[in-house]
Structure 1
């Protein structure tokens, strides 16, 4: 493999730290992009390394604890009680540093491969694959920049507000870069999307392989980004075609003896690769990779006897605690049924790698497309239309057929606020433990007159039951490591 993995996985502790000592000396054995990447085959192998840098687990963990997705578990020994569960968030907190570094690591991996590709001259027969590899790197780079904006931008709807550091090159060790404006970061993201439009071909069968980025993922991410920017008309572009292309996975009619649904919707999170799967893009987790995701929430395993540090919160559980809602069997591990007195997190408990507890990480699914459409319609004043899209998701999760009516909600009596709250609530249930709740409350909390929703019993240990929606902690601080290493970086307000 020409030691490509060594090149890709050597990442500095801080991306932009200054250093002018021995590491600036070129060592005889050093692998530069010119040496590591000499053929298209090298690039193909290197692309696997770029995908290995794509992560979402740290975002999911932070979101689940800081908002209202979990409560103290039976085996909690103090985990989270002096941090996320207490709304403690500052520059020295581990979560901002982890999210910042992991996304810039992915950007760094992508930029290194793109730089190496400049030294490769493909044959005519290899040209399409060569372009496709670069396009995949650029989409992953764009996604990482957008992830960073989602958590660190001062205001995603304001192009002139400070965003993050836009990086489309491999920085030198002495570069100390200031934050770009949102507009500048969006411009880089859109340029990567435009390159993908021209070059991201169906070199592999992405109609069934949802672990590689595709044009559909690019267009779905465009819609999500436009929505977060408050550009509703732009978010609607290509959306109807995507909704048609990714029909909702049905709950299914198969019910286990304990009352849990284990049909198609359940199978989507258990990596069964269903032909009609609504997944647009997910991160594949394999043996030897990042480890078993359940260990964020439990000591031994995700079952009721697996010593859970955290359990599904009372308020979240109540949103799906009906005899018909198939999401209960996914959000809460099936070992909790039928009593549900202990409620371990169950969304990542299975895999298809011949090893239990190695579930893939969903990044974009068809249900989110319906919620984007609902927000577009709500913003336009079509409240019934918005509720219709919310109910499309509820219908699929509460019925064994697409014509069922169980779980369908009426138009709220309190108008627009009620509709925005219905959208927010349904996103909470449907996208639980997928890393959205923190961002959703930041975006929609004021419109829905809602914020963190913790049951009194869940927060009685410290009385940290809610957080005002205008609190500065709905924007993450620039991490301390970056502040100490980069004199040009600017901190977010309130920290």
Structure 2
């Protein structure tokens, strides 16, 4: 099996064949049927096209950076930092319909979906140099990727247009679809993943850098675990079933003994990892770590982004959770003025520390798409919601033991409600800055309460920050450019 990082050289071929820009900006010009028919006749061509779908994880600004902004900066975990007015909108939970970051995410993700649809259409027709088994796997990988991208869209925007076939027409009836309902999008995601599970293996062999880069049955079950929990009416029996499928997989996922090794840059593609975005450095590096690492590690002195919040640091300290705190956050004195951590130069300011190698804008630090601890905590959540409080606590305690924390208390286990809050807190500390916090607050139904109760003081004015969010703030706006282009789209309420 060819690892998608190792066939980057084919991506240009894929992009040319697709008549798409590799910068993942949505190209509204359909690919002609003649071009598509001539481009996918051999195994190398269809493998290159599949690589182009995976490469969307690397080339898109969303998957390199904005997922942290949409999740952690938008929540109580991080401040915007930096000086970008559009990121301040996420920090303030007051996002404008013309914010370019939502347009970039929307277009990049739909571009990836279009690539996946084309691969699914063409893979079964390839005859030269490929087995039927491999063609099925390629379809399974594309199904998984399409499902992942629609899952991203439905969480942030609600119901979105569903494109489940490759479009080679300019007919507005095909290109300008209305929004499907949230329930319809989740149903499509689940259907895609169930079909993908029929085609994908537990592993592709013994090379971890392949198994953690490509869609596997473990990745399918991990995503199904999250989907069944996050959908409007959670199905916790299904959450439990798919979490157990991950935990018991023959792929052998296990927690690392050291929490810090998850992020030290020397242990990517580890046994806890289920799937991760791969970076090699150079042209295949990620620029994201340069955006948030402190001067001592980044080599520059400008103000950085995604500053950990007072509330997050206090949560680590209140729990005595210094192993995860020190692996997640690094304090350093800085030359600039920070409105939350010190209104004078040379104040000590925290930095996001889960990606530690700036690499001069070409870091080799991977990003986890799924890792086992996340799935275990979702299992605990499901057990608790199914009335099995003691069993849920047992799972959480395994996570806590790794970071030298005591077992949950009797107060934590006193009721389903108290256990629910204990699991939510555990997820926050375990997964801080891994793009889960906003989803968790939404799923637990506490986003409005949590954000309106955050006590943040702007040191420039000594005034409390009033987030003042309501139901309309729980979704992001549909990008105005898309509404202008597609009159069948309706904007989310409140925008």
Same fold (TM over 0.5): yes
Q: Structure 2: where are the runs of 5+ without partners?
A: 1-9, 334-345
Matched, 1:267 2:261: yes
Query: Partner of 2:42 in structure 1?
Result: 39
Query: Partner of 2:13 in structure 1?
Result: 3
Query: Partner of 1:285 in structure 2?
Result: 279
For residue 366 of structure 1, the aligned residue among 372, 376, 392 is 372
Q: Distance in 2 between matches of 1:248 and 1:448?
A: 33
Q: CA deviation at 1:96?
A: 2.5
Query: Partner of 1:164 in structure 2?
Result: 160
Q: CA deviation at 1:290?
A: 6.0
Matched, 1:63 2:71: yes
Cα separation, partners in 2 of 1:300 and 1:486, compared to 1, 3 Å: farther
5 Å-filtered alignment, 1:321-470, equals 321=317, 325-333=322-330, 341-350=348-357, 357-396=363-402, 398-399=403-404, 406=406, 408-412=408-412, 415-446=415-446, 450-451=450-451, 454-457=454-457, 463-468=464-469, 470=470
Matched, 1:113 2:85: no
For the residue of structure 2 that corresponds to 1:168, the secondary structure is: coil
- Deviations along 1:271-317, one digit per CA (max 9) or x if unpaired, are 43468621111111232136311244369675597434232212212
Cα separation, partners in 2 of 1:80 and 1:391, compared to 1, 3 Å: farther
For residue 294 of structure 1, the aligned residue among 277, 289, 295 is 289
Normalising by structure 1, what TM-score?
0.80
Structure 1, 425-434 or 216-225: larger mean CA deviation = 425-434
Q: Distance in 2 between matches of 1:241 and 1:189?
A: 18
Cα separation, partners in 2 of 1:170 and 1:390, compared to 1, 3 Å: same
Q: CA deviation at 1:67?
A: 1.5
Give the aligned length: 453
For residue 250 of structure 1, the aligned residue among 257, 262, 269 is 257
- Deviations along 1:171-230, one digit per CA (max 9) or x if unpaired, are 234421011123432333233223322221367327723111100110111111111121
For the residue of structure 2 that corresponds to 1:99, the secondary structure is: helix
Cα separation, partners in 2 of 1:407 and 1:113, compared to 1, 3 Å: same
Normalising by structure 2, what TM-score?
0.80
Cα separation, partners in 2 of 1:78 and 1:61, compared to 1, 3 Å: closer
Are the equivalent residues in 2 in contact too, given 1:302–1:344 (CA < 8 A)? no
Are the equivalent residues in 1 in contact too, given 2:285–2:362 (CA < 8 A)? no
Q: Distance in 2 between matches of 1:411 and 1:207?
A: 45
Q: CA deviation at 1:366?
A: 0.8
Cα separation, partners in 2 of 1:413 and 1:426, compared to 1, 3 Å: closer
Q: Structure 1: where are the runs of 5+ without partners?
A: 18-22, 154-162, 252-264, 400-404
Structure 1, 174-183 or 443-452: larger mean CA deviation = 443-452
Q: Distance in 2 between matches of 1:272 and 1:213?
A: 22
For the residue of structure 2 that corresponds to 1:32, the secondary structure is: helix
Query: Partner of 2:228 in structure 1?
Result: 226
Q: CA deviation at 1:42?
A: 1.3
Query: Partner of 1:257 in structure 2?
Result: none
Query: Partner of 1:51 in structure 2?
Result: 54
Q: CA deviation at 1:422?
A: 1.9
Q: CA deviation at 1:72?
A: 6.2
For the residue of structure 1 that corresponds to 2:79, the secondary structure is: strand
More helix per residue: 1 or 2?
Answer: 2
Cα separation, partners in 2 of 1:165 and 1:406, compared to 1, 3 Å: same
Query: Partner of 1:474 in structure 2?
Result: 474
Q: CA deviation at 1:68?
A: 2.1
Q: CA deviation at 1:119?
A: 3.9
For the residue of structure 1 that corresponds to 2:274, the secondary structure is: strand
Q: Distance in 1 between matches of 2:465 and 2:449?
A: 19
Q: Distance in 2 between matches of 1:369 and 1:183?
A: 23
Q: Distance in 2 between matches of 1:385 and 1:131?
A: 38
Are the equivalent residues in 1 in contact too, given 2:24–2:56 (CA < 8 A)? no
For residue 137 of structure 1, the aligned residue among 139, 142, 161 is 142
Are the equivalent residues in 2 in contact too, given 1:303–1:333 (CA < 8 A)? no
Q: CA deviation at 1:374?
A: 2.0
Are the equivalent residues in 1 in contact too, given 2:373–2:399 (CA < 8 A)? yes
Q: Distance in 2 between matches of 1:100 and 1:178?
A: 15
- Deviations along 1:49-93, one digit per CA (max 9) or x if unpaired, are 1111125332212323221222365xx446567522222213222
Cα separation, partners in 2 of 1:334 and 1:119, compared to 1, 3 Å: farther
